[in-house]
Structure 1
Amino acid sequence: MRCLLLLSFLLVGPLAWGQPPVPYGHNPKAGHYATLRGVKLYYETYGTGAPLLLLHGNGGSSQDFQQTIPYFAKRYRVIALDSRAHGQSVDAADSLSFEMLADDCAALLTHLRLDSAYVLGWSDGGITALLLALRYPGKVKKLAATGANLWPDSTALMPALWQQLQRGYQEGRTQTFTDPKRRNDWKVFRLDYDQPHVPLAALARLKAPAFIIAGDRDVIRPEHTVAIYRSLPRAWLWMVPNSGHATLLEHPDEFNRQVDAFFQARALAPPAR
């Protein structure tokens, strides 16, 4: 919901060298479907090299990475996934959870015959990246998560967002959604209102090095982001100056360079406590 409502206006890019822009998220030349765990998942692939899985936020799609894919496709095999119930990945079920999304990612990597991958997740995608690394330690080489939270309340989310979610829940909880799209939108909304529920103590089990990122004006409380960082055995922290929740769109060049430097670093010392 936060990505859908606050950030979608940032997603239109300029023409390059007089050529039409690549239709990320709707690119038949790069798009694929895989039926996994009862859902027809859509994903696009670009470039060659070490695999890099991109995970978007709530209400978004792989289209959100149009300023990310061109940079990383020069060095990585980029896999941009539409999460179930998002974009072109249709999910007719009534329930949705971050654990389901993480299990989908593991199944996709197995389907692609990839033992492991680098993972970059934004917002809900950052939550999914953390859960993927917790549930499937061998699947994640390193992860970068920007704008992620571990539980859904005012201790993790800024007041304006939490109040917005509460209003949305009160408006929708008594409605009967017969239209499939509205029913899906309500399911996706409930994902952020009800979830996730990851205790900080669980992060001590995370084996993959992690890069924890947030804007200094993010919708995630800065103290929550710092708590996530401090709870991880091996982590970097970057509070992006002059940025809101859309760190990778508001500062794409610096964001891409910093994340790439983290992925390419040969060693990662434990953070200072």
Structure 2
Amino acid sequence: MKKLKPFITSIILLLTVSVCFAQSFEKDMDTTQYGRNKTVGKYADIQGIKMYYEVYGKGEPLLIIHGNGGSIKNFVYQIPYFAKKYQVILADSRAQGKTVDHTDSLTYEMISDDLNGLLDHLKIKNANVIGWSDGGIEGLLLAMNHPDKVKKLAVTGANLWPDSTAVDPFVYKMIMDINIKGADSLKRMKNPTPEMKNQLKLMHLLSYEPHIKLEALKKITCPTLVIGGDHDVIVTKHTVAIAEAITNSYLWILPNSGHATPVVYKDMFNQVVGDFFAKPFRKIDKTGRFR
């Protein structure tokens, strides 16, 4: 038991980092049917895994992607709102939630390709996309590598690389410390459980990826709404740089906000993102800047 304590402590810290934004709302997320709805929940064979997904509502397809260590239930405030007008598609990403992955490696590219495969499985040619945190990274990659699949894209709290120029220095150091301690503890165990290995894999992803160059965002041609809190885990200037690098983009920085924009500011988030999807994208330049 003593050997497990350092690792368990690291995992607890990781989970705190991953879901601290939702602690005040955990009751809603734990009691909701979302993420464990036996009526609509299904599995799809995607790239060697069985990906768990749920679909709600009818209309134009809308794919919503959760962050690191999250699941479908993180969008308890978005699903009922958008399901009134859209066919809302959500999945537990690889190695998270109900989607089990026993392989040793995990990248954001793998997850975005999984999501592309899910859209193919559902015979969906293209969809609007919302991505939160790691889900925002995966949304950007989906739009870059599978541009035909993304009609419009809204990302909040996404980053392009894993260092203190993109992530708040305090948060970056904390995550790296957790990852290093967790990896060291796991190495000293004779028989670590699959769950421990999986958590370390998620920690490694959070600590050492992604690696996306700003110029690569030029591949994104769909209208994109780039969102961040003014006190986000992702530093504001990094969020601004993402928006500036995407040709057809809007930028929305929420004042008095951290990383949890879809939770803390759920009503405003839903309305603004919903309006972005519903209204034609407006190219604002030259004299149009006066309006």
Same fold (TM over 0.5): yes
- Match for 2:279: what amino acid? A
- The match for 2:5 is none
Alpha-carbon offset, residue 96 of structure 1: 0.3
What is the CA deviation profile of residues 131-160 of structure 1, one whole-angstrom value per residue up to 9, with x for unaligned ones? 000000100001100000000000000012
Q: Distance in 2 between matches of 1:14 and 1:88?
A: 19
Q: Distance in 1 between matches of 2:148 and 2:113?
A: 13
**Superposition pairs of residues 106-121 of structure 1, within 5 angstroms:** 106-121=116-131
Alignment partner of 2:118: what SS? helix
Q: Distance in 1 between matches of 2:117 and 2:77?
A: 26
Task: Determine what percentage of the aligned residue pairs are the same residue.
Answer: 45
Alpha-carbon offset, residue 206 of structure 1: 0.8
Q: 1:210 aligns with which of 215, 224, 241?
A: 224
Q: Distance in 2 between matches of 1:226 and 1:9?
A: 28
Alpha-carbon offset, residue 205 of structure 1: 1.6
- Match for 1:133: what amino acid? A
- The match for 2:134 is 124
Comparing 64-73 with 201-210, which one deviates more in the overlay? 201-210
- The match for 1:49 is 59
**C-alpha contact 2:139 2:153 (8 A) present in aligned 1:** yes
- The match for 1:188 is 202
Where does structure 2 lack aligned partners over 5 or more consecutive residues? 1-13
Q: Distance in 2 between matches of 1:155 and 1:117?
A: 32
Q: 1:154 aligns with which of 153, 164, 176?
A: 164
Instruction: Return the index of the structure with the highest Cα Rg.
Output: 2
Alpha-carbon offset, residue 3 of structure 1: 5.8
| Higher-helix-fraction structure | 2
Alpha-carbon offset, residue 212 of structure 1: 0.3
Alpha-carbon offset, residue 14 of structure 1: 5.7
Where does structure 1 lack aligned partners over 5 or more consecutive residues? none
Give the TM-score taking structure 2 as reference length. 0.88
Q: Distance in 2 between matches of 1:8 and 1:246?
A: 8
Q: 2:78 aligns with which of 55, 68, 90?
A: 68
Question: Residues 21, 271 of structure 1: CA spacing in aligned structure 2 closer, same or farther, 3 A cutoff?
Answer: farther
Alpha-carbon offset, residue 4 of structure 1: 2.0
Q: 1:254 aligns with which of 256, 264, 268?
A: 268
- The match for 2:11 is none
Question: Residues 104, 14 of structure 1: CA spacing in aligned structure 2 closer, same or farther, 3 A cutoff?
Answer: closer
Q: 2:34 aligns with which of 20, 24, 28?
A: 24
Alpha-carbon offset, residue 243 of structure 1: 1.2
Question: Residues 29, 158 of structure 1: CA spacing in aligned structure 2 closer, same or farther, 3 A cutoff?
Answer: same
Alpha-carbon offset, residue 10 of structure 1: 3.6
**C-alpha contact 1:3 1:60 (8 A) present in aligned 2:** no
Question: Residues 265, 190 of structure 1: CA spacing in aligned structure 2 closer, same or farther, 3 A cutoff?
Answer: same
Q: 2:212 aligns with which of 192, 198, 203?
A: 198
Q: Distance in 2 between matches of 1:115 and 1:223?
A: 34
Q: Distance in 2 between matches of 1:193 and 1:270?
A: 37
What is the CA deviation profile of residues 7-52 of structure 1, one whole-angstrom value per residue up to 9, with x for unaligned ones? 231433669xxxx964111111121110110011001110000000
Q: Distance in 1 between matches of 2:173 and 2:161?
A: 15
- Aligned pairs, number: 269
Alpha-carbon offset, residue 173 of structure 1: 2.6
What is the CA deviation profile of residues 38-70 of structure 1, one whole-angstrom value per residue up to 9, with x for unaligned ones? 011001110000000010000100110000101
Q: Distance in 2 between matches of 1:92 and 1:267?
A: 42
- Match for 1:25: what amino acid? G
Q: Distance in 2 between matches of 1:239 and 1:267?
A: 18
Q: Distance in 2 between matches of 1:114 and 1:51?
A: 8
